[in-house]
Amino acid sequence: MSGYTVSEIHDIVEHQRKYFRSGETLSIDFRIRQLKKLKKMIVQNEAEMIKALNVDLGRHETESYICDVGSIILEINEILHGLKKWAKPETHFSGLACFPSLFTKVYKMPYGVSLIISPFNFPFLLSLGVLAASIAGGNTSIIKASSKSVACTELLEKMVSQTFPEKYVKVIGGGHDVADICLDERVDKIFYTGSTKVGVHVLNKASKNLTPVALELGGENGNWCIIRKDADLKDAARKIAFFKMLNSGQVCININQVAVEEEAADKFVSELKKAFISQIGDAISNDEYPKLINRNAYEKCALEVDEYRDRVVFGGNGDPETNKYAPTIIYPVNIDDDIIKHELFNPILPILKFNNVENLLETISEREHGLALYVFTKNIRWAKKVMSTQQFGGGCINEVCLHLMTKGVPFNGTGHSGMGAYHGEWGFREFTHPTTVLIGSNKFNMPLREHPYSNNIKMRLLKFFEK
């Protein structure tokens, strides 16, 4: 069902709010049981999920398992392993300034009704993976799934409705109009994944109710990859080729543009061509190569390639019947060309040369923050310095994308690439509010804070306690 009315969505929100206020979702044992049900749902529906991903995105079953199915299971396993520890209230010594209070508690409280708005590119991972964090936090959840990944959204609605009651977890289909109806409701937490432009819209909607928001955005200027002349160019090309073909470039942390030191640029481009050919051959006719989500995405990609047709050195062709567009290298581009000033979200890969890496880094830092940054070099000390001084979501040195798979670390962007963080304990934190509660005493109370203030002993004691 996708044609939801304002009153229908309002009723869903209110039913979930009523259920949340019943207190049933607060129990850690309850949350663990729901996470296990979620995991069982995914395992039992693995074949259907893989089939739906192939219908919507043309994905091979291996890629679908790595990116969506298996990744969700890993996320749930990590949460199950750590949830009791993460959710345990913290006990802190109140300090002399709070005497006679000795102890202060910090409770990890759920927000209430969470709204998860998920995209088409990883329709299961970025809905059910976020749902796992919401469940861990003790919330109820409404998932607004993408209207573009039709088969996956239909399966999501079916799976979730068979596993959880609507008052606890509900999947809603439909387009932007339905998303806006959801955003107009007074929910307690919003988690949105998608474009920066829509992220601004979500934040504006949320501001009307002062609803806390987490945004996972692609970044307005895309994600940079910097390759120094001392890098292992063959290794870099192999990894970048794999990554650019993944989901046909429809990955928020994918490499948007590559900057290669001038002395190594031609050789790197040559190695990259070899890597594409070695891994995929004729991409358009290869069943393992995914497609773009729809005709509009295909035409947008083709149009951008045509604008730079004179600099296409590999690929540059597609099939509008299947919406497949070949991995395409555009070389060389200039740092001020339009093609590297926005997120591409397709298999186009612009490559530019640089002479002065400090000037390059300065330009990158002046633009909007990316969701990811990748550096290839043998100079690890320099690479670490870059990673610790630039502003971006996360990244890798001499590797691609695997920071997303690492246990126990946060994932998200900053500024135009997002806000907040999740995965594992960080997801639990994102969907809970730390509530501080001081435990007072009615004995040995010292009247230092009370009038009259004319007693000099009070000031001396206050300064002593607050050193």
- List, by residue number, the catalytic residues: 216, 252
* 261 vs 227: CA distance, rounded Å: 6
Cα–Cα distances (Å) from 169 to 135, 317, 412, in that order, read 9, 43, 24
Task: Quickly tell me which residue has 């990244």 as its tokens.
Answer: 395
Given a contact cutoff of 8 angstroms between Cβ atoms, the answer to whether 58 and 249 are in contact is no
In single-letter form, the type of residue at position 213 comes to V
Sign of CA dihedral 191, 421, 225, 284: negative
DSSP SS3 for 436:
strand
Burial 232-244 (b: 16+ CB within 10 A, else e): ebeebbbbbbebb
Given a contact cutoff of 8 angstroms between Cβ atoms, the answer to whether 89 and 106 are in contact is yes
Cα–Cα distances (Å) from 387 to 163, 375, 390, 407, 414, in that order, read 43, 9, 6, 20, 14
CA atoms within 13 A on the CB side of 433: 13
Rounded to 10 deg, the angle between the 28-44 and 70-87 helix axes is: 170
